[in-house]
Amino acid sequence: MRPIRILASLLLCAPCLLATACAGGEWVELAGKRYTVEIADTDAERARGLMFRDELGADRGMLFIHDQQAPQAYWMKNTRIPLDILYFDNDRKLVSQQRDVPPCSAGNRCPPYPSNAPARYVLELNAGNAARLKLEDGTQLRFGPGIPASGD
C-alpha cells in the first residue's frame, strides 16, 4: 500500500515540478558555468534590457538575441548594476568583451560599449563573472533546450 501512496504523491507533484522547471527555466552555459537567463529577443525587450534593476542574482543574466549578426553597441542608460557585456557570433563563439561596465544615470549621455566584431548574441552578467571564468575570445556559449539556436 505504501508504494502506491508514494507513486500517487509523485504524480500529484509532477505538474508543480514541471511548471517550476518550465517557468523562466532558460539557461546558458559558459566556460562550464550555468546561468539562468531572461531572453530579450524583440526590439522593446532589447531596448529595456536590465534598466531600472537594483540587482541581478549571482547565477542570472540576460541573453539578447538579434535577428542577424552585425556590429553591436550596448549602453548602460538607467542601468543600476555593473555588468560584463559579452558578444557572441552566429556560432555562439565569444568575439568581444566589455568587462566591469559601470552603471550610468546620465541618460542619453551614457557612453556606448561596442563589440569589436559582428555579433548575434549578447550576454549580460554581473560584473566580475568574465574575469572569474577567465573568458577568452573564442569561448563557446552553449544554449539550454528552451533557447532557439538560430532564427535564420
For residue range 109-133, list pLDDT tens digits in order: 999 999 999 999 999 999 999 999 9
Which percentage of the chain shows pLDDT scores above 90? Answer: 80
Give the model's pLDDT for residue 24. 56
φ, ψ of residue 45 to 5 degrees: the values are -65, -40
Look at 64 and 148; give whichever has higher pLDDT: 64
The answer on pLDDT for 28 being more than 90 is: yes
Give the model's pLDDT for residue 23. 44
Please give the average per-residue pLDDT across 91-99, as a whole number.
98
pLDDT tier, 12 (very low <50, low <70, confident <90, very high otherwise) = very low
Please give the average per-residue pLDDT across 9-34, as a whole number.
62
The residue extents of the domains of the chain are: 26-143
CATH class, domain 26-143, is mainly beta
Strand partners, 35: 28
Mean of the per-residue pLDDT values of the chain: 87
Name the pTM for this structure. Answer: 0.83
pLDDT digits (tens, 9 = 90+) for 51-89: 999 999 999 999 999 999 999 999 999 999 999 999 999
Give the model's pLDDT for residue 20. 34
The answer on pLDDT for 90 being more than 60 is: yes
The answer on pLDDT for 45 being more than 90 is: yes
Read off the C-alpha cell for 103: 552603471
